[in-house]
Structure 1
Amino acid sequence: MKKVGIVLVNYKDYVNRYLAECQTSIEGQTYDSQFVNVYIVDNATSQESRLFISKAYPTAKILPRYDGNYAAANNVGIKQALLDDCEYVVIANMDTKFGKDWLNELVKAAENDSQIGVVQSKIFLYPETEAEWKQPKINSVGNKLHYLGFGFTDGYGEVDRPNDSGITVKEIPGYASGCSFLIKKQVLEKIIGYDEELYMYHDDIDVSLKVRLAGYKIVLATKSIVYHKYEFSRSVRMFYFMERNRYLIMLIYYKWLTLLLLFPIMIVMDLGLLFFSVLNNTFYSKLKIYFYFLRPKTWKYIFERRKQVHKKRALSDGELFAKLVGRLDFMEINNPLLKWVGNPITDLYFKFMKFIIIW
């Protein structure tokens, strides 16, 4: 058996709300516990949170951090796991309950093919009733990546269907959900972990793109089950990081000619989002994003990341576009204007770009 490091990131009172059930389900795994290390990165740490964790989960290794940077917190956990000779690192949310074969199935899927770099669990919305426990609804069976940098879950809200095909490993064309995925040691050493400039949101997109451009597959382990206490929110802070980071993803990963061809639709989308930002009280966050991209420091970072990414990439923009989507089909953000105006326009442009982009 190979050694696995599980990285959980706490933020303020998460441990008080979520740790107990998460811990119980980790301790109930069929994977041999002597080959499992649990790392709790205490983000925005306090004396109270460290004391609570040490009493509640004495076998876990506590790694304190102070600034709340989620991407940096994962790097701290990953670094410690690799120092402890873990062959696999699992990134998981704390607001979860894991099926008893969760970890075993992740490892089995990873060992199915040497070209697999990341394995995502099948993630369900946490059931609220007995009926839902019998037939839970999907949170994510892999995430979809829109060509304009938006990410959303695949299968969200659908009732689970029994898997009669016998297939336990399925390729994910988009990206792995940061709620629960396994990544191999040799892959982490190539991609150099999380990008801490992203801070939070889209970090899982960035990791997945680095893995894919390094030539590895991203797959779903259909029998690795997670129940996620998912809450969709539209906070001002969330809007800032998601909107800023989707631009960073495009500016870092697309070739310059691709960006030039996408520029008109990027402007159209930005004008639409600017209009909506006035309506939903995120206008000042939108202005803050514009100022972020006016800083020389930002462009220095973008050029450095581009150099790292494009030097080693094993996938062309054309091959990458084949794995992207042109429509935003996510019920939590769906509205008539998006459905009847936004999606048809962006999808038509996407189909045209797929035909043109051959580099």
Structure 2
Amino acid sequence: MTEQIVGLNTWIIIVTYNHRAYLPALFESLARLTHPRFHILVIDNGSSDGTPAVLRSLSQSVEVIYQESNTGFCDANNRGMAHAFAAGADACLLLNPDTEVTPDFLSLLETSYQEQLQKGVQVGLLQPVILHRRQPDLLNTAGNAMHYLGFGWCKDNLSPKPVYDHDPEIGSVSGACLYMPKLYYQQVGGFNSAFFAYSEDQDVSWRGLLQNYRHFCASKAVIYHDYHFSKSTAKWYHAEKNRLMVVLQNYEFRTLLVLGPSLVGIELLILLYSLAGGFFTEKLKGYRFLVQHRKHIRRVRNQVQAKRTVSDAAIWNRFSDELVFSEIKNPLLTWIVNPVLRGYFALVRRLL
């Protein structure tokens, strides 16, 4: 049995981009951390709202890397993780700037990680219970949902704060607060920089599942997130192109063939929805991106498939068979689309 060691050298990585208003509360909460060994690294993505001035005025010890432009959430976190692990970090904790933490959350995350190791579990990524900062009795996410067609969302968002008697196993962690051990980084890798932002947490979780890693929510660890659902056209662009990249890169070829009709059908529905929602141009730009970056997608796909140790069938139960968004209520989705998706999910299970 592995000896439990609390106090791993953990680097907290925070990527900022015009987040000046959130930083005082975040760093005030970080100043109360009880964990014995942590280092804070901030990657500022060329903020223009005074964020650099706030970072320079902090009284606590914080390392900051100032970038001239916004290279994206994924690229900046990758730069931070590469720097941290090269400097001797045992784990990295990726933390959104619009969060506030509780004093013992990092120690509890680490304890959960060590306890799973002692059980002989090949533990991958972890996250805390993430509650809404403005509504602290409501859940933001205790693990994200992954749909088999590539959609991802905060599972059970706005539901009452959960009470657990164990650390639940989850399919995907939330990028708002993601605990990544060094071994996972070495074997699975960081984010896909081509994503820029959105769905990167789902992708890095999915790739770990393909190497037989298991992800968990540390149920005693709690943070608060100032979460706002965004329907901006920029988000639709990244979310849609990234959803398709996740599917194209992570599934076995046979699975893609079986999923072909459902993938085409959902694309037609999204195209119609994009016309009504005003992001049709962004959807088309997403297709163009996929064509322009087809060599990158193929290269990443080859890397993922070469590293996988389990089949798609082995992780099929990790996926959701219906689309359930707390922010979107649509009778067409509830009464027509989801029944069809559930039926197709069951069909694929039999065919894999």
Q: TM-score, normalised by structure 1?
A: 0.91
Residue in 2 that maps onto 1:227: 224
Contact 1:124–1:139 (CA<8 Å) still a contact in 2? yes
Q: Secondary structure at the match of 2:194?
A: coil
Contact 2:130–2:224 (CA<8 Å) still a contact in 1? yes
Q: CA deviation at 1:67?
A: 2.8
Matches of 1:57 and 1:196, distance apart in 2: 32
Residue in 2 that maps onto 1:103: 106
Q: Secondary structure at the match of 2:223?
A: strand
Residue in 2 that maps onto 1:290: 287
- Structure 1 residue 20 corresponds to structure 2 residue 24: yes
Residue in 1 that maps onto 2:4: none
Residue in 1 that maps onto 2:131: 124
Tell me the alpha carbon deviations over residues 289-329 of structure 1, each in whole angstroms, 9 at most, x when there is no partner: 2222333xx22111111111111101201012121111011
Residue in 1 that maps onto 2:179: 182
Matches of 1:291 and 1:53, distance apart in 2: 38
Matches of 2:269 and 2:307, distance apart in 1: 35
Matches of 2:48 and 2:326, distance apart in 1: 37
Q: CA deviation at 1:161?
A: 3.8
Q: TM-score, normalised by structure 2?
A: 0.93
How many residue pairs match? The answer is 341
Q: CA deviation at 1:106?
A: 0.6
Q: CA deviation at 1:153?
A: 1.5
Tell me the alpha carbon deviations over residues 5-51 of structure 1, each in whole angstroms, 9 at most, x when there is no partner: 00011002x0x21111111111111212xx11001110124595333
Q: How does 1:170-209 map to 2 (within 5 A)?
A: 170-172=168-170, 174-209=171-206
- Structure 1 residue 37 corresponds to structure 2 residue 43: no
Matches of 1:186 and 1:117, distance apart in 2: 9
Q: CA deviation at 1:203?
A: 0.5
Residue in 1 that maps onto 2:15: 9
- Select 2:325's aligned residue among 330, 334, 339: 330
Further displaced range: 77-86 or 250-259: 77-86
Tell me the alpha carbon deviations over residues 81-138 of structure 1, each in whole angstroms, 9 at most, x when there is no partner: 112211111011111111121101111011112311211110111135xxxx4xx100
Q: How does 1:169-318 map to 2 (within 5 A)?
A: 169-172=167-170, 174-295=171-292, 298-318=293-313
- Select 1:77's aligned residue among 80, 105, 129: 80
Q: CA deviation at 1:215?
A: 2.2
**Structure-2 change in CA distance of 1:148 and 1:84 (3 Å):** same
Q: CA deviation at 1:57?
A: 5.0
Q: CA deviation at 1:175?
A: 0.4
Residue in 2 that maps onto 1:319: 314
Contact 1:202–1:245 (CA<8 Å) still a contact in 2? yes
Residue in 1 that maps onto 2:57: 55
Root-mean-square deviation (Å): 1.5
Q: Look up the equivalent residue of 2:289 and give its one-letter code.
A: Y
Matches of 2:289 and 2:32, distance apart in 1: 46
Residue in 2 that maps onto 1:137: 138
Matches of 1:345 and 1:303, distance apart in 2: 30
**Structure-2 change in CA distance of 1:57 and 1:185 (3 Å):** farther
Residue in 1 that maps onto 2:91: 88
Matches of 1:46 and 1:278, distance apart in 2: 33
Matches of 2:31 and 2:172, distance apart in 1: 28
Q: Look up the equivalent residue of 2:210 and give its one-letter code.
A: L
Contact 1:124–1:140 (CA<8 Å) still a contact in 2? yes
Matches of 1:100 and 1:231, distance apart in 2: 24
Q: Look up the equivalent residue of 1:171 and give its one-letter code.
A: E
Matches of 1:94 and 1:291, distance apart in 2: 32
**Structure-2 change in CA distance of 1:218 and 1:277 (3 Å):** same
**Structure-2 change in CA distance of 1:238 and 1:47 (3 Å):** closer
Q: Look up the equivalent residue of 1:208 and give its one-letter code.
A: S
